Each structure stands twice: as C-alpha cells, then as structure tokens.
Structure 1
C-alpha cells in the first residue's frame, strides 16, 4: 500500500474534521440564538458562528465542492430577509402608536411559549439579525472564494454599482 505524503494526510484530515464539525457548529449557532433569552447569546453571535462553520467548509473543500454539496448558492440573499424582519419588528410599533422597537407582548402580559422559548418580538428581531449576519458572512466568503478560484470569472459588477449612463469613467464606481 503506497504511503501518503504529509500534505495529503493533512488535507484528508482537514476535510474529515471540517465535515464532522459542520453539524455541531450549526447546532451551536441555533443554541446561541435560542439561549440568548436565558443566558448571554444573541442573533449576531449565532450568525457569526454559522457563517464560520460554512467558511470552514469553503477552506477545506473549495468553492465548487461546497456549492455542489450544500445549499449555499443563494444564501447571501438571506440577509435581505433578515433585514426585512428586523425593520418590520422595529417600525410596526410606530404605526400602533408605540415607540420604535417596542416589545410585544408587553412586560407582565401572557406570553406564548414554544417549549421553554418565549415567543416575543425580540426573538423575531434576533432571528432577523441572525439571517443578516449569516447571509452577509456567507455571501462575502462565496465572493472571495470565487475571486480566488477564478479571478477572471468574477466581474466587477459583483462588487460594484453601475451608473448606467454610458460614461466609462463612471462605470463600475463603488457605492
């Protein structure tokens, strides 16, 4: 049996460890999101942990293999959904005559429980923050890996805004 070089063995070990750690990383992210109301934890930290778990997959397997095996292609768009949730939770109280980001149900009122989790607006807001951080983090990781993988395939339109006025000096200007 031929012996593997140390570089190949490390690569195989890295892939195995990365594959084994993905599910626990995502479960830990969900636990951080849910535990934020009992102990320290929140949507931002949970989103960062989940994005790091996906980043680990990109580092171990490369962009093409990750995009084949995991549903990460449009995950960057989750940040838009999270932003919509967060803005809705923030603005709806204004239309009800309450200050911005008012918590519902109000303190002292009956709360609906899902297991031990209180279903209050703060939970939905943290879910929105989680989606923003996860979507943005994964989108940036995907863009960087696309640029590293094939610099000619990632056009400047991926990271810039076109003015559309036909002036080459104005085209591709960043926001």
Structure 2
C-alpha cells in the first residue's frame, strides 16, 4: 500500500473520530456560555470546525451523506430570526432590548443543572446563525472546487 493511501485512511479515521467530540464540546460551550467563558458564537465555531473536517477528509458528497443537514440559508435565517426575537421581546414588555429573564433575584427554571434563561435561548440563535453560515460557506467552496476539477 502506498504511503498516500495510508495517510488518507488515517485522515478519514481521525476526522470521523473527532466529529462527535467536537459536537459534544460545542453543546457544552453553548449551554454553559452564559455563566462561564464561551457562548453561542464559540459553540458555532467549534461545531463548524468538526463539520469542516468531514468536508476536507471525505469530500462534499460523502460529508453530506454522513451529515444530512438542512439547507444552510434556512438554518441561517431561522437562527437570525430567533436571536432577533429574543432580543426584541423585552421591548414589547417595556424593558430595554436584550434584557434577560428571569430578572436578577428570581429563581430560573432548571432542566437538570441547566438554568433556562433567555441568554441560553439567545445563544442558541447565535449558534444556529454562525454554524449555518459556516456550513453554507463550506458547501459553496466545495461545490466551486468540484466544478473546477471537472
């Protein structure tokens, strides 16, 4: 077996092995970002890097077969709309934009150890925006590259 073939197999193995840890790390950053360093933006970047590694190791068609994700534009629009809604709802309640609920001093609802506050929802919208934008750029670059090869 040629060294290039072994190197390609190793790259694919490492890419596949790192996908789940990258996504789990992104989820951890997403849900703990409001209390510790990190946020939806950082989580989106980490998840994007895991998916980017799949595109680089396997190519566009195989990566999309492994990760059947919806159209990037739809996800991007949904994330933006969700984040803007979370930011604007306080205006309807007479508070400044981006006011977090529940207010300080009140006990938030808990889902296990996760505190369900509006900062988590806003970070989810930012995560979707960053991740889907990165996904769209990856798809565009890989499609352009494949067109150039043909």
Please state which band the TM-score falls in when normalised by the shorter chain: over 0.9
- SS at the partner of 2:65? helix
The structure with more helix, counted as a fraction of residues: 2
**2:107 counterpart of 1:127:** no
Residues 40-59 of structure 1 correspond to what in structure 2 (within 5 A)?
Answer: 40-59=37-56
Residues 13-92 of structure 1 correspond to what in structure 2 (within 5 A)?
Answer: 13-92=10-89
Alpha-carbon deviation of 1:78?
A: 1.3
Alpha-carbon deviation of 1:67?
A: 1.5
Alpha-carbon deviation of 1:76?
A: 4.3
**2:123 counterpart of 1:107:** no
Contact 1:76/1:138 (<8 A) preserved: no
Alignment coverage as a number of residue pairs: 150
TM-score after normalising by structure 1: 0.81
Q: Distance in 2 between matches of 1:49 and 1:76?
A: 19
For residue 168 of structure 1, what is the aligned residue in structure 2?
none
Q: Which runs of 5+ in 1 are unaligned?
A: 154-175
Q: Distance in 2 between matches of 1:116 and 1:38?
A: 12
**2:113 counterpart of 1:116:** yes
Q: Deviations over 1:81-129 (max 9, x none)?
A: 1101110011111111111111111111121011111111100000000
Q: Which moved more, 1:35-44 or 1:93-102?
A: 35-44
Larger Rg: 1
User: Do the aligned partners of residues 108 and 23 (structure 1) sit closer, same or farther apart at CA in structure 2, a change above 3 Å counting?
Assistant: same
Q: Distance in 2 between matches of 1:68 and 1:29?
A: 21
CA RMSD of aligned residues (A): 1.5
Higher relative contact order (CA 8 A, sep 6+): 2
Q: Give structure 1 regions of 4+ aligned residues with deviation exceeding 6 angstroms.
A: none
Alpha-carbon deviation of 1:150?
A: 1.2
TM-score after normalising by structure 2: 0.94
Q: Which runs of 5+ in 2 are unaligned?
A: none
Q: Distance in 1 between matches of 2:149 and 2:19?
A: 30
- SS at the partner of 1:150? helix
